[in-house]
Structure 1
Amino acid sequence: MGEKDGCNSSLTAIRVLRVSLVDELEGRIDSLLEVLVSREFFTRDDREEVLCQLGPRARVRKVLDILQCKGEEAANIFLSISSNHQQEAQKYSKEGNTDQPQSVEYNKVKQKHKDVLRRRSESMLFYNTRHGEKILFSEHYVNLLLVDGHQGLDIKRHEVLTFGQKRLSLQQKSAVHRKITPGEIFLSPNGSRPVKKVLVTGVAGIGKTILVQKMLFDFGANKNCLTFDFVIHMTFRDLNLINKPTSFREMVLRKNRHLAKELDNILANDNNLLIILDGFDEFRHYRSCEVDVFVSEPDEDAEVVEVFGSLMLGELLPNASVLLTSRPAAINHIPVGCIDRFVLISGFSLGEVQDFFSRYFQDRTLADRMFAVVSANDLMLTLCYIPAFCYIVCCILKESKELGGPSPKTMTDIYVQYLVALLRSHTQARAETFFQEQQAGANQQLSDTVLKLGRLAFKKLMEHQTLFYSSDPDVAAVKGCSLVSTFLDKTVAQEPGCTEEVYSFAHLTVQEFFAAVYCAVTDQPLPDAIQNTTTPVEGSNYGHLDLFNRFLSGILSERNANLLSRQVGLGCHKEKVDSYRQRIIRELAARCENGAHILNYLHCLFEQQDPSLALAVQPKTLRINVCDETLSQMDYNTIKYFLNLTKGTISELDLTGTGVSCESLRDIQPLLIRCQCLWLGENILDMEAAQAIADVLQVSESITQLGLGWSNIGDEELLVLSDAIRVKKKLEQLWMEGNRLTYRGLMTLKDLTPYPLERVVAIWNDLTDTDPESFSTRESVTVDFTDDDDMWDGWGQWVLKRCEVSSNEKLVMVLHKVCNVSAHCLKAKWAKTFYEQLTQLITGRIESCTEEDMCKKLKKFENILQH
């Protein structure tokens, strides 16, 4: 772009260089466009106008046209950005490519491989709902929001539901410079060390595989800044099919035989090689990747997990770049020290949801009308931020032309409508008057198909299986059904001398839904495992059936049972419906009274959408424990649904470790005012959140106990809270363990102790400054452990109860906090009892734990407590 220096202005330069700019920028226009939008030089409307153009060259021309309207300053900035963008890519290319020019044969294979990747990725991989239908990737891909940074590993059990408010607040609060494009993933964010190993995470359905497809598609078409010679793509679903020692070379050749002649040269030139490994959470050996056995040569045979571990740790192909994708639930099993960059996929923004609708429906007027329908339904709009669910919602709207009946209120409503819409769509092609003239016979065939799929889904879900071999009798039963390709994906496992078809549901949530349908409409009794979904003895089972239970409850509701009976010919037995409803009432009443974890039962109640059920619960005390769940907006809606139907005082609301924010506290403020005991510990509470709590304290006639342990509050936040406590003077106990408080901050409570504050607990704070006037010697103020058995027995039992219901990962986090006790405190009677009980709990967990790494962590704490 040096020619522009000779021009009178940047606008003139753009006009003069228009032809060369089109040639120069066509391979990177998408990533360049994202930079322009992220830096707010282009609006979202500008981007949409550009993306509507067919082909990269047309997009460049549209960008140049828009710049002519934006003036000299915008043109100057554009030339600067595009020049820097090119230089960074060239710099990376030069740094990474120190090898000699390759042979003619190498370059021929290089081009052939790109052609293969382009052909394999030209259709949307997981969005094909009709057998043989092609949905062109280039016409339907919508940009995903990618952000830099390592996210917390302590996530919700069923991460499909971790969306809602957390997603929206992330988008609002993320600094613009953290957003990145697919082509920039391997460009160093700060120019420090080279980026070789990248971990891409995101919840189920968020678009990890679609992002991989985008990178493969662009690489095959020379469209982005990936400067590698070769990109090798593997999925862990395929790697699971290898059940004997193999070499990395053979792993590559399983689906890339065209590379055989040049593979040695490709692997020797590993500086220019990118290996993409998709779906780590589906790897059957994902818990065992901290290997002690390494391979260093591509031809060396070993177990698949050893080859993978060697690759990640740099023992094998140390100069190669690796991109790994995974759901968050599995990433704490990745050798985390080897990761150079963490990228989080946050799905769609509101603008991208609209873009998806436009591309899906093709007709702008129709797309706008359908988007308006979705925008009026909070649940549907929230789900649409997840690409997979956005597709399901669009499918429902397309097949039903609009939501003719009542709008869906729950997740089950949406999936039932999805099922009915797809069944209707696939049968209308065979008989236009199918649902009118041949209702009985056709419904029988539909119900048989759904039941066979449901049986397969249910049986495999109970066995923790998502891949099904064609040799399995349950798979053989569905293979002849005409509608199987609608809901099952098929791949072929190739082994020397034989091939076998392998099936899986298009999405895990679809398998869970079909399993619930089968359980609801047959004589199949509720499995025993359902009774134990909140017992975290084995971390991998913790919450395994949560979503299945929610679907089951929704299907057993009157409105969905009627819809399935009418449209699919599947009816629910009245006895099962009545029995299930009574069980929900019993469980909710019991959990409200004993304070056991209740969130999934609240979701099951919400799926029923029957206020009479909530009114029938009537517990003696109302205790709501949803701790250690990263709550989404859907979770808050569920909690509000139940508590708004119940009147009176809330004895206890435990929001410990739920990721509450100022926004969520404001949202549920009417509920907080009704609480007696409110636990908000283990959340990051800033000044805005402290002010939201203070607003509650100023008006509540009920709150007597408030827990803010390990919530990052300091003296400034405590000052706001102390002013609020003075208004009503109802608060009796304030627990503030593990924060940033000093004696200066605690002095703001001086006139509030011992009345109304009978107990202030501030152990594990920054109390290194001098205690003025011996404030800490007051009986009501505790800054260190004491011999008061009555006080600390209660504290110890509360901690033990939390440990008992925590997963192993969460238990380790709690142990880090509560094992920090000075030696003289351990002599107290309460301490001996507490730590003996804690040791017994840890020993029990070790005995049932199957994860070697987790066992080591638990044994470390066991040794600490025994000595």
Structure 2
Amino acid sequence: MSLRGDGDQTHKPEFPVSSCVSMKSDWSMDRPPVFSRESAASDSKLKSPVSSCVSMKSDRSMDRPPNFRGESPPSGSKQRRTLPVSVFQPFTGTTRSKAGVLKKVLQSHESSLKRKVEHICEGIIDPENQTLLKNIYTELYITEGETEGVNKEHEVQQIEAAHRRRRRDTPINCNDIFKASPGQEKHIRTVMTKGVAGIGKTVSVHKFILDWAEGAANQDVDFIFLLPFRGMNLVKDEGYSLHQLLLDFHPELQELEDTQKYEGCKMIFIFDGLDESRIQLNFHIQEQKLCDVTQTSSVGVVITNLIQGNLLPSALVWITSRPAAANQIPAQHISQLTEVRGFNDPQKEEFFRKRIRDETQANKIISHMKTSRSLYIMCHIPVFCWISATVLQEVLLQDDSKEIPRTLTEMFTHFLIIQTNMKNQKYDERSEMDRQKLLQSNKDVVLKLANLAFNQLEKGNLLFYEEDLRECGIDVTAASVYSGMCTEIFKEESVFQQKKIYCFVHLTIQDFLAAFWVFYCYVKKNMEELETFLTRQKKVSLDDLLKAAIDKSLQSENGYLDLFLRFLLGISLESNQELLQGLLPQTESSSESLQRTSQYIKKKMINQNKPRNMVLTKLFGKKSVSTERAMNLLLCLLEMKDSSLHEEIDVLVESGKNLSPAHCSVLAYMILVSEDVLDEFDLRKYNTDDGGRERLMIAVRNCRKARLGGCNLTASSCKTVAAALQSPDSHLTDLDLSNNKILDSGVEHICVGLESSCCKLETLRLQSCSLSAVSCSALSLALRSNSTGLRRLDLSFNNLQDSGMKLLSTALEDPHCKLENLRLYGCSLSAVSCSALSSALRSNSSRLRLLDLSSNNLQDSGVALLSTALEDPHCKLETLLLQSCSLSAGCCSALSSALRSNSSRLRLLDLSYNNLQDSGVKLLSTALEDPHCTLENLQLQSCSLSAGCCSALSSALRSNSSHLRLLDLSINNLQDSGVELLSTALEGPHCKLENLQLRYCKLSAMSCSALSSALRSNSSRLRLLDLSNNNLQDSGVELLSTALEDPHCNLENLHIIYMAAPEILAT
């Protein structure tokens, strides 16, 4: 906590005898004296008669200081910090002097940090005119928790992976990194933030510091200490204290002679870039326990003691790391794990619009990026967004549409050319328009950087030191010239006592230059440089080189050569070689070599015992390539602009032949990398077995509607679907999993996806999935989530019972629930469910417009409860389906009352297959005549009706107030007399009926005579008439035909099919 001068007035009890251990903490000090106008408080420290020999810190051993103003200063994150004091002593001139020094140090520290982080380096023309971070910063997508599973892809391609599972992710603001999630009460001391290279970890850290320094956030914090691992690597001294380390990185602390001052301050230590650390951190063996900031040891021991809480236990610690290195710190020392996932789609656009002020140009660039799926996906990485913006701005200025990059290699080649020209403008004060001359004049610089990139890629290094540069012939005294072309490509940093380290601005640039170096050496026939890369150096053809690179990439479990391989294959294209003329001695003829390489790639993915026909029959077996490498090989084919594999698979699918699991894997990946999003992915149309369908599942990420019903899927399959729902680039809005035994556990996986802020799903069908009330608990939680956009949910034919319905009803009352359509056909519900539903429907928050409770034993008492809700002004229900609900005429009284209510919005009511009888329909007919009744569609199939109800219905239809447009009286014993009454209504000028269903109503030709007359009436609006399965005979059909010829007849559809009568009318 920060000591701010707003404490309550308490007294510390004196210890009669001191111990040799003094228990200290941030509670163990006074509030500070304050020299501003904000607040003032001071007191003196009650000292123990004997000093302690060991300082142990806790949080309960001290008094609060007295408040001499008699009031507390306002609280809030924007309140400016007051001056902390760690020594509890009388307020004397000496105290005032020491406090003045501390105040000066705090102000100096704040200003120094602000200068370090307020700019983001984007250009090399004028370093003095750098972009302000707050002007270009786009909020990143940071989540609590992390991606599950072991990463086996290149870091950049982890973003392109389609099969990653995620825990429930909670988006958090960067400034709230130390705040517990709502509902959690845990204290967060140490935070680990993971993310791939270039995703924005360091920028997030800088924005956190900048907001603090400018007074915009975290104003309860006194000190923030930024300690990048890349700088600490240079500390060679084994006798270092934490205080000395802070002095080296923050020299403004030199005046802080009394190190006890730290103890009274709220501090945050930020260790940025754990993955760049060359310091040994040993948490398993306690080498040396440090309890004082002045105790010396190795830097690794100092850091581990701080993270473990031995040093400054009240201090907060934030560590950032790439994923592979994060496990250096044991989980028990991490309070909260977060992950930077880069930009989601709206944030990508926001970045481009901030970076490109010209709106027309920004629109063109965003539109182009969206047409290339592989490029747009990579824009999750802010650095790639910046590279793309830089390149496309320059290309569009030249107005050369042929030059617009469409592949990864083309994008980075243009970036290299643009930055080389910018280097000329800075150092040579000239701009070279001739691309070949430009590259020729900078050939030496580029080649040395490419050599460095390749050498360090093989060693797995992203950070380089002076000796690494010397190995590649780079003069370290002139390194600034290299980093001249290289604020964007290659960075030089003075991080510790003016010692320098170097790196490429992003690992993708290192991959690109390394690939260029390999291709350059091949063209120059300088095979000695590639002796670690090639098994043989003599008589190496281009396809030999490329095949060797493919083999080497496939041997890598973590995929560190995946992007390198894509770049190498891309550079081999003659079109890209032409762009690089000036660096390459000549263009290498590559079409035949690339064709052979393409065949080799496909052989790596197929059964090699099936030559020539290219039928993919054995992928991902024991000796086949891994899923991650196979995905990269497909991307390599795209980089080579080779679509042959796609065409072969298409032919196989169209033929209807059986698809093996191998075919399905390739097909799924092709759908994922396709530039077009599928409108519908129907798993049932592919002729394959269960194993093949499981592999096809990952394709759901690149479709809008996924039809997966009846495909023998399991709970495990739902993990793949959940991962797709959580993907930032998911397009899935409609998902059908019906008729699969996914069980409650499968629904729980789906709900994790529904709660993701990336989820775009609006329709979820889960009919007949072997679910119970347990699923309703997970669904209820998901529906109440602020992130869920679900509007339609079908849970029909699952044994949910009343307990499940109660859980769902709770969700319907939540203001975050957006559900409009809920289908619960055959879910073992009773009148008890109607009570909960009625309450939910009356809630002001409910948005439900369609409710299907058919085939549930609701009985009249249940419908009476629902009718009460229909009369409530908050109820928005427009469609109520109650087929086969064990209803009688008794329910019609309540429904009639509800329909006559001024509040009712009901437009469709289905009471089919209930024993309503004529008396019930007469009650409903009364409602139809009421001007408040909004009903337009009334379905009364098989309701035990006779001609006796038709008189009441006819009267209602002739009423000026009736809005009824569809009436279904099928499977009722109306006979001709009943239809004659209805026909009279059709001729009435107020009748609005357009659709009349009279199947299985025991009608004869006599009915046709009455209907024919009505159809010829000038008033009839009937457009559809269904008389199927009635004994009309030819004479009846002729009468209807006559009516159809009449100019007044509006009929468009006439159904008169005759089949055997259903059992219900068999008598």
TM-score scaled by length of structure 1? 0.60
Are the equivalent residues in 1 in contact too, given 2:492–2:501 (CA < 8 A)? yes
Give CA deviations for 1:289-326 in whole Å, capped at 9, x if unaligned.
54432432323333333322222111222111111112
Are the equivalent residues in 2 in contact too, given 1:623–1:650 (CA < 8 A)? yes
Give CA deviations for 1:254-274 in whole Å, capped at 9, x if unaligned.
222221231643663265111
Are the equivalent residues in 1 in contact too, given 2:736–2:766 (CA < 8 A)? no
Write the mapping of 1:40-439 to structure 2, written as runs, cut at 5 A: 87=75, 89=77, 103-125=99-121, 127-130=122-125, 132=127, 134-152=130-148, 154-163=150-159, 178-190=170-182, 192-245=185-238, 246-262=240-256, 264-265=258-259, 268-269=262-263, 271-285=265-279, 289-296=283-290, 297-401=292-396, 404-405=401-402, 407-427=404-424, 430=428, 434-436=432-434
Give CA deviations for 1:525-576 in whole Å, capped at 9, x if unaligned.
555686354446xxxx622212211222222234323322378767446486
Are the equivalent residues in 2 in contact too, given 1:530–1:549 (CA < 8 A)? yes
Q: Does 1:549 align with 2:565?
A: yes
Are the equivalent residues in 2 in contact too, given 1:691–1:720 (CA < 8 A)? no
The match for 2:34 is: none
Structure 2 CA distance for partners of 1:356 and 1:406, relative to 1, 3 Å: same
Deviation of 1:460 (Å):
0.7
Structure 2 CA distance for partners of 1:229 and 1:586, relative to 1, 3 Å: same
Give CA deviations for 1:9-51 in whole Å, capped at 9, x if unaligned.
xxxxxxxxxxxxxx99xxxxxxxxxxxxxxxxxxxxxxxxxxx
Deviation of 1:234 (Å):
0.9
The match for 1:794 is: none
When structure 1 is superposed on structure 2, of 239-248 and 511-520 the one drifting more is 239-248
Deviation of 1:607 (Å):
1.4
Write the mapping of 1:496-511 to structure 2, written as runs, cut at 5 A: 500-511=499-510
Give CA deviations for 1:700-738 in whole Å, capped at 9, x if unaligned.
xxxxxx999996789999974699xxxxxxxxxxxxxxx
Deviation of 1:456 (Å):
0.7
Structure 2 CA distance for partners of 1:243 and 1:428, relative to 1, 3 Å: closer
Are the equivalent residues in 1 in contact too, given 2:78–2:219 (CA < 8 A)? no
Give CA deviations for 1:43-99 in whole Å, capped at 9, x if unaligned.
xxxxxxxxxxxxxxxxxxxxxxxxxxxxxxxxxxxxxxxxxx9745389989x9998
The match for 2:870 is: none
Opposite residue 189 of structure 1, the aligned amino acid is S
Write the mapping of 1:469-488 to structure 2, written as runs, cut at 5 A: 469-472=465-468, 473-477=470-474, 480=478, 482-485=481-484, 486=486, 487-488=489-490
Opposite residue 408 of structure 2, the aligned amino acid is M
Structure 2 CA distance for partners of 1:631 and 1:293, relative to 1, 3 Å: farther
Deviation of 1:577 (Å):
4.8
Are the equivalent residues in 2 in contact too, given 1:249–1:298 (CA < 8 A)? yes
Structure 2 CA distance for partners of 1:303 and 1:129, relative to 1, 3 Å: same
The match for 1:862 is: none
Opposite residue 522 of structure 1, the aligned amino acid is C
CA distance in structure 2 between the partners assigned to 1:137 and 1:453 by the alignment: 28
Opposite residue 199 of structure 1, the aligned amino acid is M
Opposite residue 420 of structure 1, the aligned amino acid is I
When structure 1 is superposed on structure 2, of 298-307 and 613-622 the one drifting more is 613-622
Deviation of 1:328 (Å):
2.7
CA distance in structure 2 between the partners assigned to 1:90 and 1:435 by the alignment: 52
CA distance in structure 1 between the partners assigned to 2:602 and 2:676 by the alignment: 16
Structure 2 CA distance for partners of 1:227 and 1:694, relative to 1, 3 Å: closer
Structure 2 CA distance for partners of 1:691 and 1:713, relative to 1, 3 Å: farther
CA distance in structure 2 between the partners assigned to 1:291 and 1:506 by the alignment: 36
CA distance in structure 2 between the partners assigned to 1:709 and 1:517 by the alignment: 52
Equivalent of residue 604 in structure 2, options 587, 603, 612: 587
The alignment partner of 1:352 has SS state of helix
The match for 1:683 is: 719
Flag the structure with higher helix content.
Answer: 1
CA distance in structure 1 between the partners assigned to 2:312 and 2:693 by the alignment: 47
CA distance in structure 2 between the partners assigned to 1:464 and 1:708 by the alignment: 45
Larger radius of gyration: 2
TM-score scaled by length of structure 2? 0.49
Are the equivalent residues in 1 in contact too, given 2:392–2:404 (CA < 8 A)? no
Structure 2 CA distance for partners of 1:516 and 1:633, relative to 1, 3 Å: farther
Write the mapping of 1:769-788 to structure 2, written as runs, cut at 5 A: none
The match for 1:492 is: 494
CA distance in structure 2 between the partners assigned to 1:167 and 1:601 by the alignment: 17
The alignment partner of 1:342 has SS state of strand
CA distance in structure 2 between the partners assigned to 1:471 and 1:283 by the alignment: 18
Structure 2 CA distance for partners of 1:156 and 1:594, relative to 1, 3 Å: closer
Structure 2 CA distance for partners of 1:625 and 1:86, relative to 1, 3 Å: farther
Q: Does 1:451 align with 2:453?
A: no
Gaps of 5+ in 2: 1-36, 39-72, 89-94, 536-548, 609-615, 653-657, 726-731, 751-763, 772-797, 800-1067
Equivalent of residue 609 in structure 1, options 615, 635, 641: 641
Are the equivalent residues in 2 in contact too, given 1:683–1:711 (CA < 8 A)? yes
Deviation of 1:230 (Å):
1.0
Opposite residue 424 of structure 2, the aligned amino acid is T
The alignment partner of 1:318 has SS state of coil
Are the equivalent residues in 2 in contact too, given 1:626–1:655 (CA < 8 A)? yes
Are the equivalent residues in 2 in contact too, given 1:470–1:501 (CA < 8 A)? yes
Structure 2 CA distance for partners of 1:625 and 1:611, relative to 1, 3 Å: closer
CA distance in structure 2 between the partners assigned to 1:570 and 1:266 by the alignment: 68
Q: Does 1:563 align with 2:599?
A: no
CA distance in structure 1 between the partners assigned to 2:695 and 2:235 by the alignment: 40
Q: Does 1:514 align with 2:513?
A: yes
Opposite residue 434 of structure 1, the aligned amino acid is E
Are the equivalent residues in 2 in contact too, given 1:443–1:569 (CA < 8 A)? no
CA distance in structure 1 between the partners assigned to 2:768 and 2:699 by the alignment: 17
CA distance in structure 1 between the partners assigned to 2:581 and 2:344 by the alignment: 37
Deviation of 1:594 (Å):
5.0
Structure 2 CA distance for partners of 1:310 and 1:661, relative to 1, 3 Å: farther
Supply the RMSD in Å over aligned alpha carbons.
Answer: 5.1
CA distance in structure 2 between the partners assigned to 1:567 and 1:679 by the alignment: 55
CA distance in structure 2 between the partners assigned to 1:653 and 1:242 by the alignment: 55
Give CA deviations for 1:443-483 in whole Å, capped at 9, x if unaligned.
32333332221111001100111122223323542655845
Write the mapping of 1:610-759 to structure 2, written as runs, cut at 5 A: 610-612=642-644, 623-624=661-662, 660=698, 663-664=701-702, 683=719, 720=768
CA distance in structure 2 between the partners assigned to 1:291 and 1:192 by the alignment: 31
The match for 2:8 is: none
CA distance in structure 2 between the partners assigned to 1:209 and 1:202 by the alignment: 10
CA distance in structure 2 between the partners assigned to 1:91 and 1:274 by the alignment: 18
Q: Which has the higher contact order (CA 8 A, sep 6+)?
A: 1
When structure 1 is superposed on structure 2, of 380-389 and 448-457 the one drifting more is 380-389
Percentage identity across paired residues of the two chains: 23
